[in-house]
Structures are given as structure tokens and as C-alpha cells.
Structure 1
């Protein structure tokens, strides 16, 4: 029987600060795995001990030395943590996993042993294990630190603690966001939602994690996208894993990709449709600059249709973007129709045929095929169909429906849909305007491989939306987009040079940037920048404001032009 047990899974990848991105895969690996099910003072939980046992086995299988403790008393948990701490020196990767009850009090998170008796706030401090203590023990230069928390959100001790105490804990563990450079935090469900306990041996999220954690050759964010998709299916889309990231570089929990495989060129050129449905709020941005980039399925069902209509892959190079934007969609239609006749009811082919019809501006036909693919659960089609509902192409404009489609596709890891959700929060389309949330989504889209999110993130920093105004950070994002031959970003960089927003005015460099924009992207929009947007011009806000620059992982141009 399904139980609403309110389980929160949080994965915090806290990597030590380094100058260059790192690829974490080899070396000494140490894990501490705790799982508490059989509580003495509150009802037992079905899955945590199973989840811990199965994850410990999986981690051993991929090279971790595992310290395992199930149904631990406070003394047993403390001893296990102490043993873990002693063995951290020399580890290249340290992982801590906890499943069981957890609670929050005064901004601190506490893990609950099976023998805990909690009736007062003092009992919380003395009868539990403080997560902060474990985090501090794990801090170490040159090591990837991973924390996984699978803890109950419904606090079974809340009623007693709430009686006459202003210090009583609140529901579940406090949300932990990735703040320092090199962190990735993943929740088993979206914020303020209840996670299903599941009917089997493991919770839906842990079952999905166990399925994919040992898959070789996939980076952790790609692995988590697969986990998210499985959880959506297993819970009938009631539960959507969520994350917050400042991760730097690639982290592989299993084997990294083979050099031969990663060096091979793409089999077919891909396509990105540079349409935008929602502009950066309160900033002079083209209202059609919302992405439609979608990931492709490797080895698609019909290579001719793939070559004729497929969109560019995540992290596309400038050449891939250029080729993709020159598809002959009129010629692609009969090719993809023939492929679909030979392979009926294939969502990928329905999606590609929808793109081909959309490319010829036959939006009614495009909407028909995109809808079929979207209803089959194909995330790229859901994201593209969301663009149609947001812009009224082939359908009546429907922002709530667009938001729903973008959310589904984003939950499955579709980069353009994540970016488009950011645009909706930026503009307040259907949802309450939330620039900080928009910025978070744009940055998430960059990490997923969406090139159009680079300019949107740059605009957030340029105009101080959702973050303190920071021209240097804006320039770094504009430069990344310029390296992909985005004329709009090249022109913004020119404006910054003309106005001295990055130092002394440099008309010659500005003219060079404008010439480059005309050369590589002659149809690009001219930015409409208000006169001297910040005459006081502190280029970076004073105080403790720190900026983590998210990197689009195309390697080929860094502060230079392709």
C-alpha cells in the first residue's frame, strides 16, 4: 500500500573550491550509510533501512569503502560518524547517506536515532545528531563531499514540541540551497510537496537512484535526470525530484566515459530553433527569445528524418547551431512522414515531423504531431508544445497550459523547458513574478546545456534582477554566448565597452564587437539599453556578494571567437 510518508531526499555535492573544473571519478572513495526504520517512540518507517542496505551494496559495487549502520541508536550513530571522520583524510570522494526521521529547529537540521525520546527542544539537541557537525567534519580541500538525506518531512514529534515552545521544530528538514562553489543539492520531490513511500522494498526515488547510480559513463547531472524521469513515471507525476546547484566540473559516480567514445564527432548535425516566448522582465529583450532547444535520442529511429529536422543537442557547438538553423523544413516533411509511416506511433518521429511543419509555419499541423508526442510523455515535445501555447501558435494562447508543459519537460531535464520556466517567472506569466527563481532556472538550464539561457542570465546580472547588479558577471555570460556566435550578446558587450561599464571606455573594441555581430549573426536583435543604466557604476555590489559563474560546457572558445 502506498503511504504518504513525506520523505525528503537531498543530495548535496559539496566540492572543494578549485581554480579549474575537476572531473571526479577515481581515487579513494569513502561512504557512511545510515538508515533508521524501527523507531521505539514513534511509528516505524517501511523503507529507510532497506534503502540504506541497498545503496551501501550499490556503492561498494562502484568502488566505495562503505561504513554501514542500520536502525542505529544515538550512540551507534555517533560512533559511526566518528569512525567516518577518522578515515576521511586521504579520501578523494566522501559520501554520507541518511534515511529516516529528521527535523529542523532554529535553522539547524537534526537526524533522529531509533532510541530518541523527544518531548522538549532540549531533547532535540541532546538526543539527535546535528547534520551541521557532519558537514563540518566532511569539509576538506581537494575532496568531493557528497551528502544524501532521505528524511521524513512529517515531524512525528511536532505536537509535543509545539506545546508552549517558541523554539519548536517545523515540518521536516530545512531546505539547503547550493551556495558555495561546487555544490549540487537534489530533493526527492519538489519543494512543499509530499514524497511517496512506495509499495515495494524502496521508495520511488531510491529505487530510481539504485537503478542509475552505477551506470558507467554518465555525469551525475545526467544520471539525476534519468532518476527524475523514472520517479515521474513511478508516481504518476505526483512527485518531481528537484535540485539546486553550484557544481563545477563533471562528477562521475561510476566509470567516466571512454576517451574513444567522447572523442567521436556527432553522427548527425542537430538543430536549435532560436525562438523565445517570454522576455527578461523589465529589460529590453526581444519577446521571442525563449529557447526551443531539445535533447535528441541517440541513434534515432530514422536517420534521414534525424538529419533533416532534428534539433541541436545540449551543449551544441557553434557549427552545430549554424547547421541546425539551416534545415530545409519543406524538404524534411515528406522524409519524416515516410519515416513515421514505416515506424508508426513513435514519439520521436512525431516530434521531428512537428518541428518540420513548424519550420514551414504550418502551426496547426505542427501542433497536432507535437501533441501526440507530448501525450506519450516525450519531454522535448512537451517543451516545444509549451512554446506554442505561450505564443498562440496553432492554438489559443494559454499560459497556464504552457507552464504545465514546461514544468513536465523541465522535470525530465529538457534544457529549453527549464529556461522557458525561467522566462515565465521573470515576466510573471501565470506565476507570480520572481526574478530570483528565474535566475536559478536560467542557471539550471545552462548546466543542462541550453545556450540561450546564457544571454538571459547575463541580462539578469546586467539589470540587477534577482541578484545584485554585476557588470563583470554579466559580461562573462554575454561572452559565453558570444563564443557561440550570438550577435545579440556581442552587441551588449559592445554597449558595455562604449559606456565604460567594465573599465575605461573602449570605442575600438566596441566597434570590433559590432563588426563581429554583423559577420556571424546578421539578423540579430539590437539591444535597447536605457541610457547609462547605472551612472554610479559600482561594477560589483559591495559586501559579501559572491558570484558563481555557470559554464556552458562547449569547449572551443573561451574569451575568444570561433
Structure 2
């Protein structure tokens, strides 16, 4: 009998060890980075809440099993290095949270997080010194993260916008986040917060408790949203955008948003106390407060009359045409819904590109007689067979070489539509998008090409250019390093790495790279100048 007890004890101990090992194996599967920027030299006074906010939220995340990194008062270099190290920690399938508290500014419907040493006097300065939220989300997704949360407490009135704008615009609503992502704003898009005087913000105060009780979940952020709205009497209402997969790891919580914040311990009723009926006046007040906090009910749009609706197919057709009128025609038929929002985003992109002076030399080059002959042959081939991907690709290259970027984009779009795994077309479209300043989309194309063909030197070179243009010099050095390992005689990679090294403070190494690149190709400096990089 004793022998059996001994065996049971050994088995139980083994199960405990196995469970402990399983728990240990999960370490690193939940990672978080919280950045709090409060000390901005260009501001009359420091922000009072970011540092305490990220410390409090970080502690709550640690208690829920997250590996937490906290960075305080980061300048541009530190911010880049911190983000690079954070991205390297993300394992495939990990749950990832990124939290930023400080100053943020939108430009052309993109949100930029401002480092403490940002020298911002114009839109161009913002693109140079700021870090785009879209880029952060793209990198997290590229590293294979599963559930992703991005929290932005960055709508404080800042000292920068008044230098080049007549008014502050708040943050822009996120338009196209990766799948299985939750984006949380401390207040609604297009609205601003006045810096608080306390040591913690209302948003962080209301978030710490729900994270402790519900973990990092939609339910926790919904509770925080309700709590902030009630605490500020509706003056501040956090905004949530979700592409979370249903029932993905407990993230999609079916419980409704609470109609009031959780009661404090002093006001909680005892279980034995029957609820007391409210007086009629108080009933009406409670009904109105509940209506404020409940999300608006959105009626499903009625299907359009006429032919059977096919918004996906019709949007793809508009995308192939890629003109403002094509998207406007799409909106006439589909005025509401997700596809309509995508069409409006495309119209905004076209309008922004038309209105924005580009630093890139976009003057078309004159076609030689041989190039004209080649283009005529390709035109005829495509007319005979509109799905001839080889002819479309070659014509797209010809357009790109002559800086006719919009028709080049249309040809590469069609090649990728016909064959989504064409890495050469993805790389070329990445480069073209970089030329017309669609930098976040360019980054996605390069990432997709490298996902399909890792260590593809041309795509690494293109992504290095994109990272250089968005101001992520450290990431650009990495890409150019990898590109040169694949093709050590590529002058553009060597010159790009030299510029990136100069921007990261590696002056001697940067000048050496530039000298070697000019020896290989004396025209490479002019090439980068045409890209808008000097």
C-alpha cells in the first residue's frame, strides 16, 4: 500500500514539474513595450502623467504574465533602438502590447509619435523625426505576433502644431490595421486633451483595474472606456477599433460594455441588500447617463437595388483603374460599410498625393526610340491578352524607369492581383510607393516580398530605402547590411547604408561606405538626391 502512495506522490510531483515547465515555456509569449515621453524641451512645461502612467500600467501587465519593457523620455535614437529591441523579442504567435504616452501629431491621416528631441517646424520635419503608428503595427505583425494591442495616449495639446497649423487636429482614426489587432485611443480621434495636473491620467487610472481583473482583453478596455467617460462626465471618451479574431485566445469578449464604471468598495451594495427603486427624476438621469456610455447602435445598410451587390469585386475593379472617379463611382453604389471606408481612404490618398509637394524628383524622363518601340510591343501584347503578367511587369518597369509612377503602380497592381506571390512585382511596387511617399504601404510590400523570399537582396535594398525615408536609420542599416551580404557589389545598398550610419552617429563607417559606393557608381549620390534623400 505504501508503495502505491509513493508512486502517486512521484507522479503528482512530475505533473507539477511538467506544469511548471509549460508555464516557463510561455515566458516571452506575452511581451509589452510602454514608452512615456514627458520632458520635451520645446514645451513650456513637462507633461505630468506619462511616466507614472506607464509605470502603473506596466506593473499591472507584469502581474498578468507579460514581459514588460518601459522606456522613459526617449529621444529619437533611443526610441529607435528601444523599438528595434522590442521587435526582436516578439516570437511567432506571441501576444503583444505597445503603449505610448506623450505627444502625437497626425499628418495626411497618419499618426506620428514624437520623440523628446523632435525638431518639428513643418510637415516634412514631422515625417523626418516622428515615428508612425502604422509602421509600429506593421513591424509587430511582420514578426508573427498573434493578438496585438496598440494603446495611444498621445492627443495632448502640443507645442509643435501651432508652428505650422492654425489649429490642433488630434489623432487620425486608424484606417487599415493588421488582422487580429486592437487599437485603443485615450480619447476620440480628431479631439484633443488638455494636459492634466495630477500624477496619473484618468485613462491610466481607469485602465489599471480592469487589466488586473480581466487581463489584456476587449472587456478590460471596454470597462476602462466606460470608466473614463463617467469620470469626465462625457468630456473624454476613449475610442476602440478592433480587427480581433472572434474567440482568439480570450480576446473577443462577448460581454457588453458596462453601463457605468465598477463601484468602489465604499459604495458597493451588500449581497443581502435588495436593490432600492430610484425616484422618477433619478431614473431619467440614470437612463440618460447609460445612453451616453453605451456605444451607438448602427443599423445595417440596406443592400443596393439593381444587380447583385459584389463590393469586393467592384472595389478590385476600381483599384485596377486607380483613379479618383473610379472610387467615387464605387461610393455612389456602396455609400456605407467597410468597403466604402476603404474607397474613401483611397480618395484621400489620391488627393493628398496631388496636393503634397514631393521631395522626390518625379519629372518624367524622355523615352528613347528603343524604349518607345519596346513599350509599343508591350502595349500590343497586353491588348491581346490583358492577363499577360510578363508584359505587364516589363511595362511597369519601363514606366518606373521613366518616373511615370502612377501607371507603373497600376501595372504592378495588376500583376500582384493575378499572382499575389510575385515577389519581383511586390518589390517593384514597394520601390514605386516609396517614390510617391506611400511609405507605410511600401513597407508592407517589401515585408511581403521578404516573407515569400527571405534574404531577397533587392527587396532588402528597397526596404532599407523606405526605412531611411521614414527616419528609422537603425532599421535601414540592418536592411542594407543584409542586402550587401546577398549582393556586396550593389552601390545603392552601400550608399544607403553610409547615409544611415551617418544618421546613427557612425561617422567614420558612414563616410567609408559612401566613398566606396561613389567609387563603384559616381552617379549614386544624384540617384539618392532624386529620391529626396541627401
Task: Bin the TM-score by the shorter chain.
Answer: 0.3 to 0.5
Q: TM-score if structure 1 supplies the norm length?
A: 0.44
Higher RCO structure (Cα 8 Å, ≥6 apart) = 1
Q: Structure 1 or 2: larger helix share?
A: 2
Instruction: Return the index of the structure with the highest Cα Rg.
Output: 2
